[in-house]
Chain A
Amino acid sequence: MKRDLTFEYVYAFDVEEVWFALTDAVTLSQWLMPNDIVPTPGARFQFHTKPAPGFDGIVHCEVLRVERPTLLSYSWRGGGVDTVVTFTLRQVAEGTLLRLEHTGFEGVRAVFVSFLLGSGWKSAHLREQLTHTLEARFARPPN
């Protein structure tokens, strides 16, 4: 099973306008999350969201690829996931087609371990997650 996510959305706006909304920290924070993005390869930045048990509310990112104004890719790490988010923009008749790929979930073993051993491993949230996992594991029809 492939564990990647892909989404597409068409905006009735120019590629440049959508690009700005992806790369300007203030604008990005208005539709995604508060952040300090700098769209330069190698730049590190963070998204800040509401903390949850097992997740400190910080997504750690590093800009991987920038092809202004059509491709932006950054790593997305936090709460036990170590993934990559890639936005691609393409001019279409109706405006701009945005394609979003969120990949890297298939590194299951490493992610599982970092999730288990990350800062949240003693947390109530992890306890809850593990309880679900164990319930599923032991859920067998009665003999």
Chain B
Amino acid sequence: MPGRDATVDAASAVFDALAHPVRRDILRLLGEGEHTATGLAEPFAMSRPAVSQHLRILREAGLVQEQRAGRNHIYALNPSALLLIDEWLEHFRHFWPRRLRALDELLRRRTP
């Protein structure tokens, strides 16, 4: 595991990457599925190089990953996103059993 500083730097790269509206829109598009750089350039009416620059920043922040498919570069969200979902799953894994027990106690109290 790297030192704390490396992690803090990485987190700050993420926040810088998120600070630009075009990059947030690119993330939204990638949230629907993977795209090529050309496919991403179209909806923004931007030049390929301008989009590539945004993609580079997103990639360096670890939010987006790039794969080569022949002559194309395919962009997708980073799978580490799964970890955030796992934290929510973990939360509800504990939340619901506690609530269901509370319902049992409530039903028992209500019965004379």
Contact = CB atoms under 8 A, between A and B. Distances in A.
Interface of A: 3, 5, 7, 9, 11-13, 17-18, 21, 27, 30-32, 79-81, 98, 100, 102, 105, 108-117, 121-122, 127, 129-140
B107 A113 contact: no
Given A112-B77, A113-B27, A117-B28, A5 B85 contact: no
A98 B101 CA distance: 12
A133 B80 contact: yes
Interface residues of B, number: 45
Contacts of A136: 80, 83
Main secondary structure of the interface of B (DSSP, over half): helix
B93 interface: yes
14 contacts: A5-B93, A11-B107, A21-B103, A27-B106, A98-B100, A105-B85, A110-B32, A113-B28, A114-B31, A116-B63, A117-B24, A129-B84, A130-B14, A140-B1
A113 B23 CA distance: 11
A113 B104 CA distance: 37
Given A100-B96, A117-B24, 8 more contacts: A5-B89, A31-B102, A113-B27, A116-B63, A122-B15, A133-B83, A137-B62, A137-B83
